[in-house]
Amino acid sequence: MGDKIKYSLGLNKHDSYTRNHMELANMKAVIYMSVFIVFVELWMIERIITIVLFDSEPRTTRWIITHLRSYVILLSAAIFMLVHATRYLKGKRLSYSTNLIILSVYSAICIYFGMYVSYLDYIKGEQILSFITMILFSCCLLVWRPIISLMVLSATFLLFYHICSNEVPATVATNINLFTTWMACLMISISMYHQRMSEARKDAKLEETNKDLHITNEKLEESNSHLDRVSRRDELTGIANMRQFGKTAKLMLQEAFEKGQDLYFLYYDIEHFKTYNEQYGFEEGNNLLRDIAGELSILYEGSAYARYSDDHFIVLTSETDAHEKTEALANWLHEHQGEAFLDLKVGAYKAEEGVGVSISIDHARFACNSIKMNAEKHFCIYDNSLYEKQKRKQYIINHLDFAIENEYIEVFYQPVIWTKNKKVCGLEALSRWRDPEYGLLPPGEFIETLEDVCMIHKLDKYVVDKVCKDYNEAKKSGKKLLPISLNFSQLDFNLCDMVEYVIDTAKKYNVPKEYLEIEITESALSKEHELLKNAMQRFRDAGFNIWLDDFGSGYSSLNVLKDFDFDVLKIDMLFLDNFEENANTKPIINIIINLCNKLKIRSLTEGVETEEEFEFLKEIGCERVQGYYFSKPVPKSELESLIESEKLILSEEL
Ligand code: C2E
Ligand code: CA
Ligand code: CA
């Protein structure tokens, strides 16, 4: 049988939800039906009692019992069902099958009495409304599967027809009436059934959606609370994350500004953490980060602290705490660093009203980054000049290539003078950056930056090239030529083969070796540096002179003299500071000059600014001098005009 027909007849299997829905609907219908029957039966009983008491015609006991019996039975059944259905609705339920039996018996009683009363009415020639009413109640108000309704309705109608027509033969009109009523009842019952079925399905869907919604809600709540945790805590260390820090910091700042207290943002960076990871493994690295976070939470309890990222942490605290606790943290770190060498760098920013938390953190971070790779500095407080400096630094890094290509880098020359006759015996090449945005930048503005980012060799190669070119041009134009000393960074020898470059460039421009002097600073030699030693040897082997620059500025001046050979020793200009006031200056310089004479190294003193300084140096036998007293470093054209105007006189002897 097709599924549709099965479904229409109600032969399909009901799921538990549909069964419960139908049962509940039927129990509600039982209540309406029973209340009605109770009223009707009470009315009937009252009618019988009135007849017995007030009717003049006496009634037999049999008559009374016959009439009362059916009313009382029906009344009792209705009251029973009323109680039963009410209990059901209150949740005191019997099993489904028991309930079905009770409902069937109740329906059978109702139909029986309906049939009985209508039979009596029929044989008296009256309407059969009781039968119809009870059928409507039992098969339409109560809902059964269509097949059951069909069977019950057909059986009862046939039975009723049979009993009645035995007594009084039915007319054609009665037959038709009975048939159409049967048909109508059947239609109503089937339609009621399908209506209930579709309600049940809708309800089931609704309930399922509700259940899903409930589950979704539960899941949402769960993930919300997880998200809330994640959104506040750093996953690795469990301390606050930046979001939470931002919130706490805002409140702390508000309170501090109201009370007029100073607060500092501290940005911690653990330098060389990478080497710790490499040495001990990633997992141990994570453990150390957790421990650091733990230490922070002990030190800064009551303040705001968080993990910023990687090995960076952020704190908002008072000024005294900033110093004391930072020191405590640095000590703790050194105790827990194992074989690695970790360095705690701190950038601080004093909180200001009107400056937001994230900008303040940026400032602290900026201050911290400015001392990165600087082994001597551990604590740096942000100020605006720091920012400007950093901006300029970045500009230099970004624009070096462009500056070289466009010849913004210029070579200035500073004359070196014979003390004996004040004539120029050589020139020192010193670079300048003539920038369209920042103007003329002295080397102090860019040399260190270029060293920091390992770009210094680009500049020095350019200077070597320019100096050789200038020499070549001077030679071609028949000018008198002077040796030029070149400055190099220690890094030049790591970053490229500077020795080879100088040799090649000199060859390219036909510059004889004696016309290029190689200046190596004392500080470069103080570090154990095989590469530099090797480079110096190669320069020497190639026939270049090597000068020791900035002698006396470092800690190992004498050692340097012991270990290397130099042609010229440049006494650092610091010795001439406070020349007149400092009584020690003269004897010290005197000793250095004597030392040079003993070691057969030629002497040169830098930074000579006065007549007195010059006279003293001449007197003690310093061979050469260099300084503003004679000339500042000047561009090539200016140097030429100084020579032309005989303000500078070139020496014959070199
Ligand atoms: P330095 O080699 O010791 O050069 C001498 C510095 O002293 C120059 O500064 C010069 O202008 C300055 N100076 C000369 N006479 C006097 C004086 O009488 N009084 C005072 N107060 N200063 C005087 P500058 O040109 O600013 O160069 C600074 C440093 O930058 C140089 O020190 C040198 O180490 C480095 N440098 C300059 N140009 C280059 C370059 O092209 N490459 C490399 N690697 N370093 C360079
Ligand atoms: Ca120099
Ligand atoms: Ca120098």
DSSP state string for 436-477: TTTEEE-GGGTHHHHHHTT-HHHHHHHHHHHHHHHHHHHHHT
Q: Give the list of residues 6+ apart from residue 360 with CB closer than 8 angstroms, or none.
A: 249, 265, 349, 351, 352
**Does 125 share its domain with 265?**
no
Place of tokens 């002990």: 298
pLDDT tens sequence across 48-80? 889 888 887 888 888 888 888 888 999 999 999
Rounded CA separation 196/190 (Å)? 10
Of all ligands present, the nearest one to the C-alpha of 443 is: 1
Q: Does residue 474 belong to any structural domain of this protein?
A: yes
d(CA 320, CA 502): 55
Domain's final residue, options 161, 184, 209: 209
Asked if residue 490 has its Cβ within 6 Å of ligand 1, the reply is: no
> For residue 10, is pLDDT > 90?
no
Q: Which residues contact 111 (CB under 8 A, 6 or more apart)?
A: 131, 134, 135, 138, 152, 156
The predicted model gives 281-303 an average pLDDT of: 94
Q: Give the Å distance between the CA of 425 and the centre of ligand 2.
A: 15
Domain enclosing residue 602, as ranges: 412-644
Q: Quick count: other Cβ atoms within 10 Å of Cβ 24? A: 15
The CATH number of whichever domain residue 264 belongs to comes to 3.30.70.270
Read off the CATH number of the domain in which 625 is found: 3.20.20.450
Tell me the percentage of the chain whose pLDDT exceeds 90: 64
Is residue 633 lining ligand 1, measured as CB closer than 6 Å? yes
Q: Would you say residue 196 has pLDDT above 90?
A: no
Phi-psi map region of 125: left, alpha, beta (phi>0 left; psi -120 to 50 alpha)? left
Q: Quick one: DSSP state of residue 605?
A: E
Residue 229 lies in a domain: no
370 and 417 share a domain?
A: no
Is the predicted pLDDT of residue 470 greater than 70, yes or no?
yes
Mean pLDDT in residue range 483-510 = 97
Q: Is residue 343 part of a domain?
A: yes
| Radius of gyration of the chain, Cα coordinates, nearest whole angstrom | 55
Residue 626: its pLDDT value, please? 98
Asked if residue 449 and residue 338 are part of one domain, the reply reads: no
Ligand 1: atom nearest CA of 456 is 44
pLDDT tens for residues 384-426?
888 888 889 999 999 999 999 999 999 999 999 999 999 999 9
User: Which residue owns the Cα nearest ligand 1 atom 4?
Assistant: 430
- Please indicate, yes or no, whether residues 348 and 452 belong to a single structural domain of this protein: no
Give the count of beta carbons closer than 10 Å to the beta carbon of residue 249.
27
CA of 603 to the centre of ligand 3 (A): 13
Percentage of the chain with pLDDT > 70? 100
Kindly state whether residues 197 and 341 are assigned to the same domain. no
CA 171 to chain centroid? 92
Cα–chain center distance at 598: 67
Gap from CA of 606 to ligand 3 centroid (Å): 6
Write the DSSP symbol of residue 240.
Answer: B
| Ligand 1 neighbourhood includes 489 CB (under 6 angstroms) | yes
Residue with CA nearest ligand 1 atom 17? 607
Tell me how far CA of residue 483 lies from CA of 486, 509, 602, 614, in angstroms.
Answer: 10, 14, 15, 22
Q: Are residues 427 and 559 in the same domain?
A: yes
- Give me the mean pLDDT over the 532-540 stretch: 95
> Is 445 touching ligand 1 by the criterion CB < 6 Å?
no
Query: pLDDT tens digits for 343-388?
Result: 999 999 999 999 999 999 999 999 999 888 788 889 999 988 888 8
Q: Which atom of ligand 1 is nearest to the CA of 609?
A: 18
Which are the contacts of 13, defined by CB distance < 8 A and separation ≥ 6?
A: none
Q: Are residues 551 and 450 in the same domain?
A: yes
Could you please report the per-residue DSSP string of 488-501?
A: --TTHHHHS-HHHH
Could you identify the atom of ligand 1 that is nearest to the CA of residue 414? 14
Q: For a substitution probing ligand 1, which of 427, 430, 569 has the most ligand atoms within 8 Å of its CB?
A: 430
Among 155, 187, 209, the domain-final residue is 209
Cβ(534)–Cβ(507) below 8 Å: no
The closest ligand to the CA of 463 turns out to be: 1
140: which DSSP letter?
A: I
In this structure, the answer to whether residues 188 and 254 fall within a common structural domain is no
Which range in 63-67, 97-101, 234-238, 566-570 is most confidently predicted, on average pLDDT? 566-570
Question: Hey, what are 1's tokens?
Answer: 């049988």
Does 219 reside within a domain? Answer: no
Please check whether residue 650 lies inside any domain of the structure.
Answer: no
**Which residue type does 347 have?**
G
pLDDT class of 15 with cuts at 50, 70, 90: confident
pLDDT at 322 over 70: yes
Residue 231 domain flag = no
Name which residue leads in pLDDT, 174 or 647: 647
CA distances from 629 to 440, 457, 607, 633 (A): 22, 31, 8, 11
- Single-letter amino acid code for the residue at 110: C
Nearest ligand 1 atom to alpha carbon 629: 18
Residue 572 lies in a domain: yes
Instruction: Write the pLDDT tens digit of every residue in 199-240.
Output: 888 888 888 888 888 888 888 888 777 777 777 899 999 999
- For 527-541, what is the mean pLDDT? 90
546: pLDDT strictly greater than 70: yes
State the amino acid at position 377 in one-letter form.
Answer: K
pLDDT band at 1, cuts 50/70/90?
Answer: low
Residue matched to tokens 């207290």: 261
Helix (H/G/I), strand (E/B), else coil: 291: helix
Q: Tell me, yes or no, whether 91 and 163 share the same domain.
A: yes
Return the higher-pLDDT residue of 557 and 305. 305
> For residue 95, what are the CA distances in angstroms to 17, 19, 23?
15, 12, 11
Taking the C-alpha atoms of residue 263 and residue 265, their distance in angstroms, rounded to an integer, is 7
Give yes or no: residues 122 and 265 share one domain. Answer: no
Q: How high is the mean pLDDT of the chain?
A: 91
Alpha-carbon gap, residue 506 to 516, rounded angstroms: 8
What are the DSSP calls for 358-369, one per residue? HHHHHHHHHHHH
Domain contains 390: no
- Per residue in 108-140, pLDDT (tens digit) is 999 998 998 889 888 888 888 888 998 888 888
Residues 246 and 192 in one domain: no
pLDDT of residue 485 exceeding 90, the answer is: yes
Residue 472: name the closest of 509, 429, 515 by CA. Answer: 509
Closest approach atom of ligand 1 to CA 606: 15
Closest by Cα among 273, 294, 290, 293 to 338: 273
Residue 621 Cβ inside 6 Å of ligand 1? The answer reads no
Burial (CB < 10 A; 0-12, 13-18, 19+), residue 122, is buried
Are 201 and 100 in the same domain? yes
pLDDT tens, residue by residue, 592-637: 999 999 999 999 999 999 999 999 999 999 999 999 999 999 999 9
Q: How many domains does the chain have?
A: 3
The answer to whether residues 446 and 438 touch, using CB atoms and an 8 Å cutoff, is no
User: From the DSSP assignment, how many helices (H) and strands (E) are in the chain?
Assistant: 23, 15
